[in-house]
Amino acid sequence: MEIDGRIFVTRRIVGLDEALAQHGLAERYVIEVWEGESAPDRQTLRQKLPECVGILTQLTDLIDAELMDCAPRLRVISQYAVGVNNIDLAAATQRGIAVGHTPGVLTDATADMTFALLLAAARHVVAGADWVRAGKWQGWSPTLFLGKAVYGATLGILGYGRIGRAVARRAKGFAMRVLAHRVSAEEAAQDGVIAADFETLLRESDFLSLHVPLRPETHHLIDARALALMKPDSVLINMARGEVVDPQALYQALKAEQIGMAALDVTEPEPIPADHPLLSLPNCLIVPHLGSATLQTRRAMTELAVANLAAGLRGEPLPHRANP
């Protein structure tokens, strides 16, 4: 059979070979998978892309106009994530390149992880476990690691999309009062949440959870001014993108105990260097961008990313397209 072109997959992902075979890509295209431990660098992408009709990308691959110009045959960029802030969507649209992404399939895993961080921060789960492991546990104490009540507390959700809504559903099980920013009256009534403006959300939340996409208008949305409006014992959870929070301002706010704690799944920069000031703070909990990291979810993301790629290469509408 005649080969239709090359596809570059920038990282090995769960269930890739099965999905490529299932969508008939393995037999029609030359597929190269980057097997490196870390993302391919820009020079590698520049070398690989000129021959490619499709590329399956990760959020760590910066795909801008310059790179697209090295790839005159490129028809589809299929992103293995819901967020597409690493891809210049306008440049892709101008060049007639379809960009796919993976919403929906990672909603519940990300909402679960939001609650994992919320509970871990509220109840000092990580600090407590470290304490025991370090041999410091001398016996039960009435004042050891006193946390913050979750049940019945107020949860603010900034970014009331699929994931924000899934977090709200979980919050109902904890009898939380849920405030949501930019929620329609209909959705608010349906979900039993309260619509709140930005300032009210900051002022009234015991837990503030971030789920907005990274765009110019959300870059450092949580800055010194925003942090100053939050309650002194509040917990900030960032499940969106690191750049939504100003890290310097967050460091100052945590150090001065202007807010109680931060629990971050994402950071700026990412990965966060081991000597970053935020890591010196006991009231800052950071995990390495694990929101969608379950085996089942990652398999489903592979299936959807490959389905997007296959549809685009057939010239059909993508199941989930991120650019117009």
Active site residue 124: no
Active site residue 101: no
- 82 vs 179 by CB, closer to ligand DGY: 82
In the complex, minimum distance from the CB of residue 59 to ligand DGY, in angstroms, rounded to a whole number: 6
Among 270, 276, 314, 321, which one carries the catalytic annotation?
270
Please, which of residues 103-142 interact with ligand DGY by CB under 6 A?
A: 106
Please, which of residues 141-170 interact with ligand DGY by CB under 6 A?
A: none
What backbone torsions phi and psi does residue 123 show, to the nearest 5 degrees? -115, 20
**Cα–Cα distance measured from residue 184 to residue 189, given in angstroms and rounded to the nearest whole number:** 9
Which single residue is written with the structure tokens 């299929």? 78
In the complex, minimum distance from the CB of residue 213 to ligand DGY, in angstroms, rounded to a whole number: 9
Please state, as a whole number, how many other Cβ atoms lie within 10 Å of the Cβ of residue 168: 24
Among 124, 241, 298, 320, which one carries the catalytic annotation?
241
Active site residue 270: yes
- 59 vs 261 by CB, closer to ligand DGY: 59
**Cα–Cα distance measured from residue 318 to residue 308, given in angstroms and rounded to the nearest whole number:** 5
The contact mask relative to ligand DGY for 23-62 (x = CB under 6 A, - = no) is: ------------------------------------x---
User: What element of type H or E holds 307?
Assistant: helix 295-313
Among 23, 101, 124, 289, which one carries the catalytic annotation?
289
- 101 vs 124 by CB, closer to ligand DGY: 101
In the complex, minimum distance from the CB of residue 28 to ligand DGY, in angstroms, rounded to a whole number: 27
Candidate residues 16, 63, 81, 210; the one interacting with ligand DGY per rule CB under 6 A: 81
**Cα–Cα distance measured from residue 233 to residue 282, given in angstroms and rounded to the nearest whole number:** 14
List Cβ neighbours of 156 (8 Å cut-off, separation of 6 or more). Answer: 178, 179, 180, 181, 196, 201, 202, 204, 205, 207, 208, 209
Tokens of 271: 């990965």
Please state, as a whole number, how many other Cβ atoms lie within 10 Å of the Cβ of residue 14: 15
* Pair 86, 62: CB distance under 8 Å: yes
**Cα–Cα distance measured from residue 156 to residue 204, given in angstroms and rounded to the nearest whole number:** 8
The contact mask relative to ligand DGY for 258-297 (x = CB under 6 A, - = no) is: ---------------------------------xx-----
- 252 vs 294 by CB, closer to ligand DGY: 294
Which single residue is written with the structure tokens 């041999």? 135
* Number of amino acids touching ligand DGY (CB under 6 A): 7
83 binding ligand DGY? (CB under 6 A)? yes
Strands laid side by side in the 6-9 sheet:
30-33, 6-9, 52-57, 76-79, 98-100
Candidate residues 7, 52, 71, 82; the one interacting with ligand DGY per rule CB under 6 A: 82
- Residue 75 CA to its chain's centroid (Å): 26
- 193 vs 214 by CB, closer to ligand DGY: 214
In the complex, minimum distance from the CB of residue 301 to ligand DGY, in angstroms, rounded to a whole number: 7
Which single residue is written with the structure tokens 């690191």? 242
Positions marked active-site: 241, 270, 289
Binding site for ligand DGY (CB under 6 A): 59, 81-83, 106, 291-292
